[in-house]
Chain A
Amino acid sequence: MQDFGAAFGEAFRLVASLDPDLVEIVGLSLRVSVSAVLAAALIGLPLGAALAVARFPGRGVAMVALNSLMGLPPVVVGLLIYLALSRAGPLGPLGLLYTPWAMILAQMVLVVPIIAAVTRQTVEDLKDEYEEQLRVLGVGTAGMVATLLWDARFSLLTALLAGFGRAIAEVGAVIIVGGNIDHVTRVMTTAIALETSKGDLALALGLGLILLALAIGVNAAVMTLRRTAGHAAYG
């Protein structure tokens, strides 16, 4: 118990003193996860909106598949990306394995289904309200997708938040494709796993605290943005 208290004290000291190792790890975590979420949004937002608007045979199957993919096991994704990026894999020549790019790719694969599924639901709800109005104005399918995405933009922040939550907290995939290499691919979650196994609870706890604070801070910021900017635009 004394060790636990000491670890907490040391953790706070590391955070308060902006320990360079800690800052580096947090910085890389944010860069990787934010990049992964932005890249996933470029795919997931239009994909989800298109699924909400388009009517085609097999749409039901596509939606079940998309919802199922939200529960993709990170280690399986990590393994598949590893195989693709390994020397013998189809993307091997790119030399991305054990780099932050590989981690971004893995997190992106995990996050796309989440963003697409939440987007589909959000856009479909708005479509129920908008569809006839847009049709009488002469808006086509592509225009409808764009309009619904734009008008649902503040609600869609929730989709990005859900994606960011998954990405920043994920450990299984990034440890496989990133390798947890010090100063190269070590992020908060992989560092916590490593330091805990080494018995360095202070650093692990410090990172854990930051991870929690980040999750709360990002959520609070996005919710504030959604409330204030959304209110100004929507009323």
Chain B
Amino acid sequence: MRPTADPETGADGRAQRRVLPIRGAGLAIRRAGRVLLDGVDIEIVPGPLTVIMGPNGAGKSLLLRVLATLVPPDAGTVTWAGTTPGRDRAPRLGFVFQKPVMLRRSAIDNVRYALKVAGVPRAERDRRAAEALVEGGLSRLAGSPARVLSGGEQQRLAIVRALATRPEVLLLDEPTANLDPSATLAIETQVRDAHRGGTTVVFVTHDLGQARRLADEVAFVHHGRIAERGPADRFFNAPSSEAARAFIEGRLLP
């Protein structure tokens, strides 16, 4: 039975609908003889903007998907707020893909859809969808078919849609990988604003500059393991692992 109350203000056991902290314990995935995740332990707590960084194929996107329960691990467990993740709490966890998936409807209807799934009453949906588009700077495109928007606009809309349900945590999987610098700037601004507004953010990227601009803390993934994790200043100035040091210095990693 879907809850009918607003996820933020609903009276239906709000404490039970928390997703943070997200905890992954002993996460392992192996495909075709290759170890993609190798016993990862990770905890996402409320507050910081965490950047998961690492070279291509390190396992960072896969780790994000496992934490969002999109991919089941071969071994290990994921818990949201100490309990087994469930579909009813999905609106409390926003997820943005590298390639935005736009539903075949207008920009505002994409947002309305997310609100409807989250159980927001019909009367509130229009207002909240319009507000979300204004916050994302997309109100002029409200009536446009989402799929004709530019790549940058689609990604901004994807973030607006993910934030519309007021998630506790926003997970972004290399959202600017295919975008030009101005669209990247717009996305980073949007993400920083969301973080300032109280949303915990986990941002996957392999872009060192982007990680420096955004991160409060960094988790560095290499060969399916978290090689290092800590505050951004310390990570960039005094990395403790050889893999992270090589990555930061631009040396090629095996």
Contact = CB atoms under 8 A, between A and B. Distances in A.
Interface of A: 129-130, 132-133, 135-140, 143, 147, 151-152, 232-235
B146 interface: yes
Contacts of A232: 145
Given A138-B117, A138-B118, A233-B145, A133 B97 contact: yes
A234 B103 CA distance: 8
Contact of B117 (A132, A139, A235): A139
Contacts of B101: 129-130, 132-133
Contacts of B207: none
Contact of B70 (A130, A135, A140): A135
B73 interface: no
A140 B87 contact: yes
Interface string B131-157: 000000000000011111100000000
A151 B87 contact: no
A234 B104 CA distance: 5
B114 interface: yes
A132 B70 contact: yes
Interface residues of B, number: 28
Given A137-B91, A137-B113, A151-B105, 14 more contacts: A129-B101, A130-B103, A133-B97, A135-B90, A136-B95, A136-B162, A137-B117, A138-B91, A143-B117, A147-B113, A232-B145, A233-B104, A233-B105, A235-B147
A41 to B, nearest CB: 19
B103 A235 contact: no
Interface of B is mostly: mixed
B159 interface: no
Nearest to B162: A136
A232 B165 CA distance: 27
B117 A136 contact: no
A140 B91 CA distance: 12
Nearest to B92: A138
B233 interface: no
A235 B148 contact: yes
Contacts of B97: 132-133
B70 A151 contact: no
A135 B72 CA distance: 13
Given A234-B145, A235-B145, A235-B146, A136 B105 contact: no
The list of the 6 closest CB pairs from A to B, nearest first, reads A138-B90, A235-B145, A235-B148, A133-B101, A136-B95, A235-B147
Interface string B41-77: 0000000000000000000000000001010000000
Interface of A is mostly: helix
B103 A151 contact: yes
Contacts of A135: 70, 90
A136 B104 contact: no
Nearest to B69: A135
Contacts of B104: 151-152, 233-234
Residue among B88, B90, B149 facing the most chain A CB atoms (10 A cut-off): B90
A188 to B, nearest CB: 36
A33 to B, nearest CB: 29
Contacts of A152: 104
17 contacts: A129-B101, A130-B103, A132-B97, A132-B101, A136-B93, A137-B91, A138-B87, A138-B88, A138-B118, A140-B87, A147-B103, A151-B103, A152-B104, A232-B145, A233-B104, A233-B106, A234-B145
Contacts of B146: 235
Contacts of B147: 234-235
A136 B103 contact: no
Contact of B68 (A129, A136, A139, A147): A136
B248 to A, nearest CB: 31
Interface in B81-119: 87-91, 93-95, 97, 101, 103-106, 113-114, 117-118
A139 B147 CA distance: 21
Nearest to A151: B104
B114 A137 contact: yes
Contacts of B93: 136
Nearest to A231: B145
Contacts of A133: 97, 101, 103
Contacts of B68: 136
Nearest to B68: A136
B67 to A, nearest CB: 11
A136 B105 CA distance: 18
